[in-house]
Amino acid sequence: MRWVLALFLMVLPAAAEEVVLGLSQKEVAITTSFDGSEILIFGAIKRDAPPPPGQLGVLVTIAGPAEPVSVRRKERRYGIWVNTEEVQLEGAPSYYAVATSAPLDDVLSIRDNLEHRVTVPSLLRSLTVPSSVLDASAYVAALIRVRQDAGIYQELEGQVVVDQESLFRTRIALPAALTEGAYQTRILLTRDGAVVSRYDTTIEVRKVGLERWLYSMSRENPFWYGIMSLAIAIAAGWGASAVFSLIRN
Amino acid sequence: MQIYLPIAEVSVNAFLLLGLGGLVGILSGMFGVGGGFLMTPLLFFIGIPPAVAVATEANQIVASSFSGVLAHLRRKTVDLRMGTVLLIGGLVGAALGVLLFNYLKSLGQVDLLVRLCYVVFLGVIGGLMFIESLNAIRKTNRGTALPKRKKHGLIHKLPFKMRFRVSGLYISVIPPLLVGLCVGVLAAIMGVGGGFIMVPAMIYLLGMPTKVVVGTSLFQIIFVTGFTTMLHATTNYTVDVMLAVLLLVGGVIGAQIGTRIGVKMKAEQLRILLAMMVLAVCGKLAFDLLVMPSELYSVGKAGGH
């Protein structure tokens, strides 16, 4: 994971300032010993002219693949707390992190936040909510709260280091419980809160090796997967009994 | 050392799992129970999704009961005929249990069901065991022997009688079928072998001699939990082989150590310790159900576990 793959790609050739990006890795492999991963995102700001006026801001976001989730509310029934209402939400990313170079309000205006959907609340504003639900916003708020507490949604204010208005870098820690898929990565460059340049790329997260094999077997050949599980259990039980009776004799 | 579990999709410490397996193995060796009823709640506590914990624990019990039944077969303390009758009931029960499990999962109530089952069964069995062993200690202190019970009742009037030679019984097949059925349902829902319910039921309801009870119970538990594992693997995809292997390695070693500790302790003291432990697990689960949670909302995969 330590090998460095630098990507030098250019976008928006007309802009006065552009992002040139490097990633410490283009892929995250979930192996048996996977315990989360830290991605180093670094790059430079390319200019044709001297820096324009206004405060520079750099924002980096990583979004995991969206998958439908169900949010359930507990209520007290007959003295115990049970799940009652359930709302299905679609379009919420399975992971989301925003890292900024300064406090968020200083580097991003409200208008641009809504347009580029940068912070978690503005990202989740367009969630598909069933029309039958009255207090849908309470469920969306609960989803954000639960996932922020679990570290699945992160706001890393001031975590992007900018050197001499031209080089930037940040580290984003991916948790151990990751969903597979393409992680959309964006770098936004702002001047006085307005986005002046944007760069998009993806990081692939994949189960590999034994993890991949077991997972796909359990979905594609569930019968043989079950038989294999039983065979392992019976072999282990028989082996243990044989070994310990040998020790006793 | 962290291990990423492919089906549970969480990363856990491998030594923690080996240790848990070992600890429950020691207890199961000491007390002669499968240990599933303690392991499954412990897996909940360390963050394994309940559906995965239940399905995987069934797979682990196959290993430990297979190991145990081999020892009993050598000693000829397995009533294969009785075991088969219990098994027929057990398989039907396991199928019903998985159907019920899947139905409640679609309602979002599966966690509640599993937890409620645990609170009720751990509470009742822990409580009964505690009272019974307190009485036993009191009686041995007074120096009087336990009175022997003889059962004559409804069981002997039922039709479809069958002879069970190893157990020395001539009874109707209906009660063993029903006992098997109930244990099968519980095995599927709670992820337990059901030994802690099966053993008292065989002794007190069917009147089987104590020496064949454990072996026969283990014999049928292998098939019921094996069947449950297959049903969970093919309908819910929730059996995590990696988790099962880690638990089973610890469990097998722990069971041997536990057996040796168990020999050195008095039966009543052992039972009181087990009862207190069962009640402690029950108390923790009940507490979570009764006290207002700090977060009223929970997030889960839609349609999944």
In this structure, are A103 and A147 located in the same domain? Answer: yes
Mean pLDDT value across residues B63-75:
78
Look at residue A78 and tell me if it is in a domain: no
Distance CA A42, CA A187 (A): 10
Instruction: Kindly state whether residues A201 and A219 are assigned to the same domain.
Output: no
Contact state of A83 with B248 under an 8 Å Cβ cutoff: no
The answer on A25 and A9 residing in a single domain is yes
Same domain, A152 and A230: no
Tell me whether residue A130 is in a domain: no
Q: Are residues A158 and A241 in the same domain?
A: no
Q: Are strands A96-100 and A153-156 parallel, antiparallel or unpaired?
A: parallel
Say if residue A78's pLDDT is above 70.
Answer: yes
Tell me if A69 is assigned to some domain. no
Closest CA to B2 of A172, A34, A229: A34
Residue predicted with more confidence, B82 or B144: B82
Report chain A's mean pLDDT, rounded to a whole number: 80
| Pair (A45, A108) in one structural domain | yes
CA pair distance B252, A189, nearest whole angstrom: 58
Are A150 and A219 within one domain?
no
Q: Using CA atoms, how far apart are residues B235 and B228, in angstroms rounded to an integer?
A: 10
Least confident residue range of A2-11, A50-59, A177-186 = A2-11
| Total domain count, chain A | 2
pLDDT band at residue B137 under the 50/70/90 scheme: confident
**Which residue is closest to A208 within chain B, CA to CA?**
B6
The average pLDDT across A130-138 equals 74
B230-280 residue pLDDT tens: 888 888 888 888 898 888 888 777 776 777 776 677 767 777 887 888 888
Answer yes or no: is pLDDT of B148 > 60: no
More confident residue, A132 or A210: A210
SS3 B80: helix
Residue in A closest to B243 by C-alpha: A229
Rounded to two decimals, the ipTM of the complex is: 0.74
Look at A13-17, A138-142, A180-184 and tell me which has the smallest mean pLDDT.
Answer: A13-17
Given a cut of 80, whether residue B167 has pLDDT beyond it is no
Q: Is residue A30 domain-resident?
A: yes
In chain A, at which residue ranges do the beta strands (DSSP E only) sit?
A: 5-6, 17-23, 27-30, 37-47, 56-63, 69-77, 80-89, 96-100, 153-156, 161-163, 167-174, 181-191, 194-207
* Within a domain: A193: yes
Does residue B108 belong to the interface with chain A, where contact is any CB pair within 8 Å? Answer: yes
Q: Cα Rg for chain A, rounded, in angstroms?
A: 24
| Six token digits for residue A33 | 């010993």
Specify if A149 maps to a domain.
yes
B263 in contact with chain A, both atoms CB, cutoff 8 A: no
| pLDDT band at residue A7 under the 50/70/90 scheme | very low
pLDDT band at residue A42 under the 50/70/90 scheme: confident
Contacts of A70 in chain B (CB under 8 A): 108, 299-303
Q: Which domain holds residue A214?
A: 210-249
A136 found inside a domain: no
- Residue B152: pLDDT band (50, 70, 90) is low
Number of A/B CB contacts below 8 angstroms equals: 179
| Range among A16-20, A59-63, B164-168 rated most confident | A59-63
Give the DSSP H/E element, type plus range, for residue A211: helix A209-220
Distance from CA of A183 to the nearest CA of B (A): 17
**Distance of residue B12 Cα from the nearest chain A Cα, in angstroms:** 9
Residue A80 placed within a domain? no
Percent of chain A with pLDDT over 90: 2
Residue A160 and residue A246 in one domain: no
Q: What percent of chain B has pLDDT over 70?
A: 87
Same domain, residue pair A41 and A105: yes
Question: Measured between CB atoms, does B3 come within 8 Å of chain A?
Answer: yes
Residue carrying structure tokens 């089952």: B117
CB-based contact A19:A59 (threshold 8 Å): no
Residue A6 has pLDDT above 50, yes or no: no
Q: Are A190 and A221 within one domain?
A: no
Q: State whether residue A24 is helix, strand or coil.
A: coil
Could you tell me the CATH number of the domain that includes residue A34?
A: 2.60.40.3880
pLDDT tens for B172-212 read: 788 888 888 888 888 777 767 677 777 777 777 777 777 77
CA nearest to A88 within chain B: B302
pTM above 0.90, yes or no: no
pLDDT at B46 over 60: yes
| pLDDT at res. B155 | 61
Least confident of A8-17, A79-88, A137-146, B161-170: A8-17
Q: Residues near A131 by Cβ (< 8 Å), separated by ≥ 6?
A: none
Contact call for A69 and B9, based on CB within 8 A = no
SS3 content of chain A, % helix, strand, coil (to 5): 30, 40, 30
pLDDT tens column, A9-25? 333 344 577 787 777 77
pLDDT band at B143 (very low <50, low <70, confident <90, very high): low
Residues A103 and A221 in one domain: no
Q: Are residues A104 and A151 in the same domain?
A: yes
